[in-house]
Structure 1
């Protein structure tokens, strides 16, 4: 009896260990290059609009891939998809490292990395649901969530140290560590029954074209790119209304509360992601800090604070309600950005404190957005709805990074707008911070207006 009980328990623990490894490196891959963007810009003599594509390229395929892998898990089985994702991710890493001196190769490698890394968040949750006993799933999800938060936290510190003391190109090789999980996943994951179903390839292509050209518009501001993007999305919307198994369920678009929650939540996440991508440029231009100092001293404390704030936010939602936590989170974000805009020339360590509160406010807001979006869905819509929330969040984070890169390059906001005595070199950063505040406040008011009548949510 002891043997029959201990063996499955040991197998469950082993599966969980390797899922944690994959989860850690998926978010580390997303965060680790952010702090090196100014170094990459200097090496290639590129403007931020082009350089930020190092992150944007990854986020595009990562967001689309997350949705694709989730839909394919029933048709192809999670084992094959996991192995495919790991191999593609490692392949992209090697291509990027070998060809890092050629900018187009670097961007291509990040596209490939995102395609592979997308398998990890999409399939980890499915694997937990299928392999971990029901009574242990809560602990498993909690452990994976903590590992993800830790990966987000240490990413900037690791990235800054390696980029400063070695070279940023070596950061591209970090995801190759995931190759060690392959033999264990082959052994531990079982062969699964497949569910035959149509897959909406045309929908994925149309949406991807629309996304890529919109991103190109945000970095170059060519109207032709915007027109192509608009037409692609228009055809995509018409397509999903007729497709038998559409990539995005058009019925979700009729749920106004859900749509507003997803869009406004994604816009807030994108604004913060854009700000975080701007911090390395800002710290180098205004305070002349090196990459290691930016990663470890400026960004690292903020990313690590997510673990604490996430726990506090969950407790407050249960005790005080979502509206209370939403208002606190949005107020923290708005005040933090206003202080940053007015005191950008103060000691650089003020930005360390500001980032702690920015990530804290973001953590509160993410908790609430997930709660209110899930509460606006019917039981049968929860799976598709929450997948769409994750997809849009990743996508709009990439969009925010691209837009901020464009604003730093075209310098439309490089003029004095604040009635304070600041150096001319800070005008651009201060004005972008004020723009971010405006976006956040508008999104906040829209969410409140839509959800204030629903006691079921708040």
Structure 2
């Protein structure tokens, strides 16, 4: 109790930066960092053709970036608890740009392209990880919900337009020009040098072994989800066990074991994993469902999904404002409720008009943007200043891994024929059965997540974190 109360006091003592000046540049930087997650997706057939490689071989263009992006999210978070945020953000932008330049210059050799994507991921991961820390550390509690909402909207927009931008650049110029896009982030360096406060190096040292164990453990999980061989998972679990043993003995561990004893942080991470895993599973299964059951082509499926993606852009900001006015718990429960209603509705509409499904998807996107915004804000309020870096890094890592887990799990459930156990009487096609059952299961997982959230984030817990503006 004492620990969380003191966290709010510590945050209040930090210098508060100018929101109006900072937010536009933060949005600019986040957009170009997240854009690179999806901008190469539509170009993979062209890349495979150019280098004469298999689909598995070309998948490394995406997988390599994802691995280094996921690893970096938690490592940069930990580094920000020791080193200057300003210097780390500038370093991340520079690394991101160097990787982009290498990819463009060395485009004739495929291994060099993969190496460039690794460097890109290592640099780009600094941006969302450190921006979350900037918001948690230097924005006033009354502004955080709004800013987290803007970040959610920006991320949603970047992910949605990434394939569109990628397709336009690839068809108009060449896919290698996609490496040029991240160079725009360089123009933000003078601003961050000016707006972010100077910070001295804090006490502590970098636990290199701990960082390496986290990095290879996360990499093992991501590789296993992309290429499901048992030895990748076994290696990842073994490294994770080694990491847990190591941080209990190390003098200055990469992640303090006490952080995992923070009940509210632990609860937020679990709820985040369940919800993000579910939503990413939904985003993976809906296009498959529309293609298989409704026999739609790619462009039509894109039109079905686009209105929902734009709703996420708009309602992310609205969710942030609601969180500031009504509290994070209020927004989380509204979001979870919208998700349940949407999933049940879609489960009964599978096989019917795809435009009904497009309408039913709107609450999915809105609900997810609400939960994502409010949960990030809620987690930030459970951390002391000295914990914000690694704490928000863990939150980023959980959301990242949960997306990969959700996608892989859905694929296995559908491929294994395990979702054909019940026929919904509202369905008009046998092909719709597995998708309908899967959506009902997703709704049940969201309900369980809400019950768990209610148990963890009680009124008593809310009082401990002082999540109102009065803090």
Q: TM-score, normalised by structure 1?
A: 0.76
Deviations 1:120-150 (A, max 9, x none): 22344667899x9x89x98899679637624
Q: Which residue of the partner structure matches residue 270 of structure 1? A: 277
Task: Indicate the larger mover: 139-148 or 152-161.
Answer: 139-148
Deviations 1:186-237 (A, max 9, x none): 6973797555742122112212222233334445554433332222111111
RMSD (CA atoms): 4.4
Is the CA contact 2:352–2:428 (under 8 Å) kept in the aligned structure 1?
no
Gap change, CA 1:258 and 1:354, over 3 Å in 2:
same
Cα distance in 2 between the residues matched to 1:270 and 1:96: 32
CA displacement at 1:69 relative to structure 2 = 2.4
Q: Tell me what 1:163 maps to.
A: 167
Aligned match of 1:61: 68
Distance in 1 (alpha carbons) for counterparts of 2:282 and 2:115: 24
Worse-matched range after superposition: 196-205 or 87-96: 87-96
For 1:82 and 1:383, the matched residues in 2 are separated by: 13
2:440 to 434, 442, 452: 434
1:85–1:118 CA contact under 8 A, matched in 2: yes
After the TM superposition, which of the residue ranges 182-191 and 340-349 deviates more from structure 2? Answer: 182-191
Q: How many positions carry a matched residue from both structures?
A: 440
CA distance in 1, matches of 2:433, 2:111: 31
Counterparts of 1:387-402 in structure 2, within 5 Å, are 387-402=393-408
TM-aligned CA deviation for residue 322 of structure 1: 4.1
The answer to whether structure 1 residue 360 and structure 2 residue 403 are counterparts is no
| Shift, 1:250, TM fit | 0.8
1:340 paired residue number: 346
Shifted more, 259-268 versus 60-69: the winner is 60-69
Answering whether residue 117 of structure 2 is matched by residue 113 of structure 1, we say no
In 2: Cα distance, 1:386 partner to 1:187 partner:
23
Query: What is the SS of the residue equivalent to 1:189?
Result: helix
Change in Cα spacing, 1:102 to 1:25, as seen in structure 2 (3 Å) is same
Q: Which of 436, 445, 454 is 2:451 aligned to? A: 445
Aligned CA distance change for structure 1 residues 198 and 400 (closer, same or farther; 3 Å) = same
The equivalent residue for 1:232 is 239
Cα displacement (A) at 1:252: 1.4
Query: 1:160–1:292: 8 Å Cα contact kept in structure 2?
Result: no
Q: Is the 8 A contact 1:156 1:299 kept in 2?
A: no
* Range 224-233 or range 153-162, more displaced: 153-162
Determine which of 182, 189, 194 is the counterpart of 1:185: 189
Aligned equivalent of 2:9: none
Q: Structure 1 residue 455: deviation in Å?
A: 5.6
Mapped contact 2:32–2:185 kept (Cα < 8 A): no
Which stretch shows the higher mean deviation, 170-179 or 90-99? 90-99
TM-score relative to the length of structure 2: 0.74
Please give the per-residue CA displacement for 1:254-313, whole angstroms capped at 9, x wherever unaligned. 123321221221221122123223333333333444444433x22332222124323433
CA contact (8 A) 1:330 1:444 kept: yes
CA positional deviation for 1:239: 0.8
Q: Which residue of 2 aligns with 1:259?
A: 266
CA distance in 1: counterparts of 2:343 and 2:43, whole angstroms: 21
SS of the residue corresponding to residue 221 of structure 2 reads helix
Go from structure 1 to structure 2 and tell me whether the alpha carbon gap of 1:172 and 1:64 turns closer, same or farther (over 3 Å shift): farther
Q: 1:369 aligns with which of 365, 371, 375?
A: 375
Q: Structure 1 stretches of 5 or more lacking a match? A: 1-10
Q: CA offsets per residue over residues 299-341 of structure 1, 9 Å max, x none?
A: 3322221243234334444555444433321121122122223
| Counterpart residue number, 2:153 | 149
Q: Are 2:418 and 1:413 aligned?
A: yes
Distance 1:14 1:218 in 2: 41
Q: Does 1:327 align with 2:329?
A: no
Verify the 8 A CA contact 1:97 1:169 in the aligned structure 2. no
| Partner SS for 1:415 | coil
Following superposition, the deviation at residue 238 of structure 1 comes to 0.9
CA contact (8 A) 1:22 1:178 kept: no
Aligned partner (choices 292, 309, 314) of residue 315 of structure 2: 309
Instruction: Select between 19-28 and 313-322 the one with higher mean Cα deviation.
Output: 313-322
> Which deviations, in whole Å up to 9, do the C-alpha atoms of 1:73-125 show, x marking residues without a partner?
57665566445434543455567779999998877665443222112223446
SS class of match (2:293): helix
Q: Return 5+ residue gaps in structure 2 as ranges.
A: 1-17
Q: Distance in 2 between matches of 1:165 and 1:378?
A: 44
Could you tell which deviates more after superposition, 224-233 or 190-199? 190-199
